[in-house]
A and B are shown apart, each in its own frame.
Chain A
């Protein structure tokens, strides 16, 4: 029996958690529970990131995604749950349809994933696993326009033969974030409510029930 590859074991662990939580998000009917499972899933994804050697990214994932975005979502849940917490259920037919679509999509993606033989093999020997490369500094430098991971222009894959940094996208994203900030603040400003939430709606499938 080959020695246990602990990398793979942890990968499997995190993978199962991720997938399980993702499915649970789909299946769950309670919005709060959905949020919880999502948090779990995203955290597990961060773990996967660490296993793949992208530690900065994993940290980023935890901070931004889990710590920021999910909190935002939960706040949203909180803000839109006036009155009795209603849970809306979709009809059975729609579930079938959605599942079919999802399965079809999954099939396509998996087929793609299985198509390339090279992807199935990790590094041949454990020795070949390089020492943990520090990715944070190169990432930061790349954001500033300096590609230290590919110093040799011959190895560049860009058509012009010159590998440029990510300075421009960095700046664009900055502006983008500013715009989003302003836009979201404007969109979510305090406005007059349109009457009390009635809760009854004959149109649309499924009834409303208290959950």
Chain B
């Protein structure tokens, strides 16, 4: 634990954080009955992925100062952010539609596709 404070941080540390975010996001998606809760889980997942990208593209974290994928990492993260925003907008629109038609935001009620 003390090493964490003295030694420089590597990519793996970022990956761990990203993994935790990702896993929480998945659990949130799986366990929340509120549609907006599901959306929040999605945000968490995307953020975890962004962290990974940035970690790989960061020259501060890589040995030898040479990052694995360089600027590409940040660029991809940027694109993800933009797309996440767009997707959040559409998802919200869907959730609102759902709310308007079902008078409830509970996704468990959305079983018209039940076979």
* A and B directly contacting (CB within 8 A): yes
Residues of A within 8 A of B30 (CB): 94, 97-98, 101-102
Residues of A within 8 A of B103 (CB): 193-198
Among B54, B85, B105, point to the contact of A64 (Cβ < 8 A). Answer: B85
**Distance (Å) between the CB of B97 and the closest chain A CB?**
6
Question: A110, B19: Cβ atoms under 8 Å?
Answer: yes
Question: B21, A22: Cβ atoms under 8 Å?
Answer: yes
Question: A52, B22: Cβ atoms under 8 Å?
Answer: no
Residues of B within 8 A of A205 (CB): 108
Residues of A within 8 A of B (CB): 1-5, 7-9, 11-12, 15, 18-19, 22-23, 25-26, 31, 34-35, 38, 41-42, 45, 48-49, 51-54, 56-57, 60-61, 64-65, 68-70, 72-73, 75-77, 79-81, 87-90, 94-95, 97-99, 101-103, 105-106, 109-110, 112-114, 116, 118-124, 126, 128-130, 133, 135, 138-139, 142-143, 147, 149-150, 166, 169, 173, 176-177, 180-181, 183-185, 187-188, 191, 193-199, 201, 203-206
CA distance A188 to B93 in the complex (A): 5
**Distance (Å) between the CB of A106 and the closest chain B CB?**
4
Residues of B within 8 A of A128 (CB): 64-65
Residues of B within 8 A of A73 (CB): 36, 39-40, 43, 88, 92
Question: A122, B63: Cβ atoms under 8 Å?
Answer: yes
Question: B71, A139: Cβ atoms under 8 Å?
Answer: yes
Residues of A within 8 A of B16 (CB): 110, 113
User: Which residues of chain B from 6 to 40 have any CB-CB distance to chain A below 8 Å in the complex?
Assistant: 6-28, 30-37, 39-40
Known A-B contacts A80-B96, A139-B75; the reply to A184 vs B20 at CB < 8 A is no
CA distance A76 to B47 in the complex (A): 20
Nearest-neighbor residue (CB-CB) of B88 within chain A? A69
Nearest-neighbor residue (CB-CB) of A195 within chain B? B103
**Distance (Å) between the CB of A123 and the closest chain B CB?**
6
Question: B71, A114: Cβ atoms under 8 Å?
Answer: no
Question: B12, A105: Cβ atoms under 8 Å?
Answer: no
CA distance A53 to B40 in the complex (A): 26
Question: B11, A130: Cβ atoms under 8 Å?
Answer: no
Question: B34, A22: Cβ atoms under 8 Å?
Answer: no
Residues of A within 8 A of B71 (CB): 135, 138-139, 142, 147, 149-150
